[in-house]
Structure 1
């Protein structure tokens, strides 16, 4: 196998205010071009894309390029992702097997569990989060014993930029140790219920479920979900316990074409606020739909067929409060903490951006309910005096930029990606009374990522500081401190002050 690390070239793009700033060409566009070139040459290729929307976009762009070159050739490329109906997925898999399809743009839904043979090349659009996923995706090519090609296309992102310039971080290293939290009650409780459903749980069984099993069982009994008897714990429900194996957080939202009643697909509840809010553009197999209404009570989004000249991008606001501190390090002007937090978020508006140029056409308000999350976080505080002594001029901008970069680099040291975690920074948080940066797990109860970051904070924050300082940009860019999911539109940000903030932290923390 030949493995290529591919960094898209620098281009100029539209920015508000009329100034053109150098940014890199979109990894989605670059991957779509590579996919189209491969199909043109008869190379059977699978393109892995991070998001459902991204997979649809890559497939659409590749089809358009192919049809311009050879009319009808675009029909040999399709998208594949979670949320499709089972019948659609089986048809796509069969078409790829038979050679009817030469190219497929997929989420990691094809990373495992589907037997694919005969592929010649794999394009990986953006770092997939772990070396384990990288090799699993790359291994989809060349399984028939012939030569194969794998290409990792870097996004304009701190971690992607770091990896393509430090290939030693990818090659010749073992896959990561999996990070998890076996005591997470949101995971442990459904598992205990499932065990009790199969056979009554006895005290001798409890060590199998970890040291927190007894406490979780007491809560389940208090809530009437399990019943305690001298012989053990019994399931009280009529049917099977509900277990959310995919961690999507509840009943999926059905996307339905209003005119025909046709079910197009499903979206998990948390993503529905971002992907299928009223006015959102929803992509399905290269066709565009606009959402008319989102009914969260009935878990359905009604859409109509339309080809607008814009894409939509939801914006949210987030607040965080500290529930408890599990562990901390007192380092003089700097404090490092790990504990439980309550995160409240709400999607409040969305932007329309012109396809191609990215020009913002306007912002439209949304009225969606808040979402609450009890999870774990790592955070550090700094004294105002230490920031002043370090020459930090823009405290909110420096903290915000450091937060973005820290989230971007955490996957380097924990088995996660930036979409598994979130963050908040503030010049004076009400619970800490000091300038603070929080990074929290995006899963109920925490998944172990924040705890891992707490334990290796120095190496994590050192890599963060080096990535910001080593970036060639002057004021901050997507390769260092800008975030693709920032609810504040990447404002305020100060790249120089982010380096100064992290210098204070790293100088104070014990090695």
Structure 2
């Protein structure tokens, strides 16, 4: 193709944008507040973002605030409204603030998009749902609460303002976690770094399955095309299930009578984002209306019984979750707390690493890229009050969820840990803290978000029979993130060590070794032990 068609390289941004001012904002500490293990507590990035959005809207600047979760979109919109109605004395502006996120019904999303585009709305708190694919002009400011996972996403969000040639303001508000803290103190890593190369696994059979079937529907696939996509096993599985058939012209889709995956509906059944599908519907029990949906893989943690669910400024409490029927029942309520799930996670290695996927760094340290099965179960939830205190655990009886994926793992000989000055009793806390920090810094080298990956650490893993740390892809079959971690292990560990070492806290905080998604409530954690371990790993991997 390249020999027959001429190409023109486009290297300059030709968009009609005006002067852009970028501010990096690190929230201050809350005086007298203590988090887990007595760690200092910063003001929440969402709180800061809501107040900044209120200030910009109050000055007449139409503003988007990007946040990291659906719940945060609702909370930021509500807090911005309160700030405009109260301290800024602009209740008229408060009525023109809204939230936008995935999970809303299509007609609700279209209504919000139109109101934002025509100026009826002055400010919108949104997830990445407004990052791509929707053309909204006339915006003056963007507030990004937390690093969106990639430099590409950051610039995409920043580019939503100033699209008609006017000047614009972009404020990046750092969350209290390793990656954000690293970037706000090393701005060149964000502003002076080129957009990342996309990282994904094109041979992932879980992703290929639906896409190869759709390809066969549109046009028969030849054997040469199957080999090109390395989809031989997927083709054989589709043929075994009777979904496709081999003919002289290639592989054809076969009409289905009683299958969920059939030619006339296949394209709508396949997620372009590689999600698990099987959305769970969320229904308001007071009037029977459909509030929205949540991905089936996240339902146990987001809409479990007792969970607080926010929808367009309204609060609901989940009464019941029926996974088999794909529906969660919600009742309107105004609880003075939020909820946080608690879970247990086990990981099993499904086969030995290939020779080129195992690295001996010497000194009793090995790293490997392995196939794993992760078993996760939400076992309860905590209620978190406005002052940051949490309740005792409310137990839940929910089914296990299993995930076959890829992981980068490193093992350390107990004798090596002893030589590092880490006592046997301190091994679990040191590994756990190092795991959290590594998860927080993997997005620095791989095109991912910390919520796309997970981790497990153990002082004695049943498969390795040694202290082991796993960081795994949160997508069936793997997405290529852990592979990047394995390939660039020395660089990854060096950045992780620097982030933990430079944090001024004494015993660990969300900026270094605590994690907002830890199913064990950030217990146990040993920052001092993690520093000894990471420092030794840097020395060994650099040699």
The alignment's TM-score, normalised by the length of structure 2, stands at 0.91
1:20 and 1:77 map into 2 onto residues whose CA distance is 36
Partner of 1:170: 190
Pair 1:359 & 2:379 matched: no
Deviation at 1:363, TM superposition (A): 1.9
Verify the 8 A CA contact 1:12 1:20 in the aligned structure 2: no
Deviation at 1:247, TM superposition (A): 2.5
Partner of 1:313: 340
Pair 1:7 & 2:39 matched: no
Pair 1:115 & 2:112 matched: no
CA-to-aligned-CA distance 1:464-484 (integer Å, 9 cap, x gap): 011111111110100000000
Partner of 1:383: 413
Partner of 2:296: 269
What SS does the aligned partner of 1:170 have?
Answer: helix
Distance 1:188 1:20, change over 3 A: closer
2:281 and 2:489 map into 1 onto residues whose CA distance is 41
Deviation at 1:14, TM superposition (A): 4.8
Pair 1:25 & 2:43 matched: yes
Given the alignment, which residue of 218, 221, 230 partners 2:239? 221
Distance 1:21 1:185, change over 3 A: closer
Partner of 1:416: 448
1:70 and 1:459 map into 2 onto residues whose CA distance is 50
Verify the 8 A CA contact 2:39 2:509 in the aligned structure 1: no
Partner of 1:497: 529
Q: Tell me, which stretches of 5 or more residues in structure 1 are unaligned? A: none
Verify the 8 A CA contact 1:334 1:509 in the aligned structure 2: no
Q: How do 1:72-471 residues align onto structure 2 when only pairs under 5 Å count?
A: 72-209=92-229, 212-238=230-256, 239-240=262-263, 241=266, 242-324=269-351, 325-326=353-354, 327-332=357-362, 333-355=364-386, 357-393=387-423, 394-471=426-503
What SS does the aligned partner of 1:233 have?
Answer: strand
2:294 and 2:420 map into 1 onto residues whose CA distance is 47
Verify the 8 A CA contact 1:410 1:453 in the aligned structure 2: yes
Partner of 1:43: 61
Give the aligned CA root-mean-square deviation in angstroms.
1.5
Verify the 8 A CA contact 2:33 2:40 in the aligned structure 1: no
Q: Tell me, which stretches of 5 or more residues in structure 2 are unaligned? A: 1-19, 257-261
Verify the 8 A CA contact 1:32 1:58 in the aligned structure 2: yes
Pair 1:484 & 2:484 matched: no
Runs of 4+ in 1 over 4 A off after TM superposition: 13-17
Out of 83-92 and 477-486, give the one that drifted further.
83-92
Verify the 8 A CA contact 2:29 2:41 in the aligned structure 1: yes
2:198 and 2:206 map into 1 onto residues whose CA distance is 19
Deviation at 1:16, TM superposition (A): 7.6
Distance 1:262 1:497, change over 3 A: same
2:290 and 2:32 map into 1 onto residues whose CA distance is 37
Out of 126-135 and 224-233, give the one that drifted further.
224-233
1:96 and 1:505 map into 2 onto residues whose CA distance is 50
CA-to-aligned-CA distance 1:96-141 (integer Å, 9 cap, x gap): 1222211000000000111110001000000011110000000001
Q: What is the total number of aligned residue pairs between the two structures?
A: 507
